[in-house]
Structure 1
Amino acid sequence: MVYRFWCGECGFKTPWLAESEGAQRQLDHYNKQHPGIHAGGHVETGRRNPQDSRISGLACLQVAGLLALLLIIAAAYRR
């Protein structure tokens, strides 16, 4: 699972990261931009890494290609 941390003081948000890395980046942001203020905001969760969507898209393309090939073969044997 991936996480994106939002600042409670401004519009800053971290990129989608592992939970520990995102929390550290939010803390670094607060220390630099809002010194003396306790880190707040909210956390957005994602089900998977956005890079995984490229992999699933490729798998979908492969399945579609295989189905198209099977249809061509079936049509050739029908004649």
Structure 2
Amino acid sequence: MAYRYRCGECGFKTSWGTESQGELAQELHYTDHHPGLLPGGTVEVNGKNPASQRGEGCLGCLAVLVLLFLLLASCHR
């Protein structure tokens, strides 16, 4: 998944990236633009990010392997 952090004090938002990248960018923004304040705001999650689709490919491969195994097992008898 991809994450984007929005500043709670102004209109700043980080670019889409990993959770740790977003946290770091938000902390740097607060250090530079809002010194003395704890980072706050909101976090957006992008479930449509192609990076989040990696697991679905493995699931499809696993399903094909199970079907092949069942086919081979039924032919063995």
The TM-score bracket by the shorter chain reads 0.5 to 0.7
Name the % identity: 52
SS at match of 2:45: strand
What is the deviation of 1:48?
3.8
Q: Which residue of 1 aligns with 2:35?
A: 35
Q: With the length of structure 2 as denominator, give the TM-score of the two structures.
A: 0.62
Task: Write out per-residue CA displacement over residues 7-32 of structure 1, whole angstroms, 9 at most, x where no aligned residue.
Answer: 00000000111000011000000000
Question: Secondary structure of the equivalent of 1:6?
Answer: strand
Matches within 5 A, 1:4-23: 4-23=4-23
Gaps spanning 5+ residues in structure 1: where?
53-79
Instruction: Structure 2: give runs of 5+ residues left out of the alignment.
Output: 53-77
Q: 1:15 to 1:50 in 2, by over 3 A?
A: farther
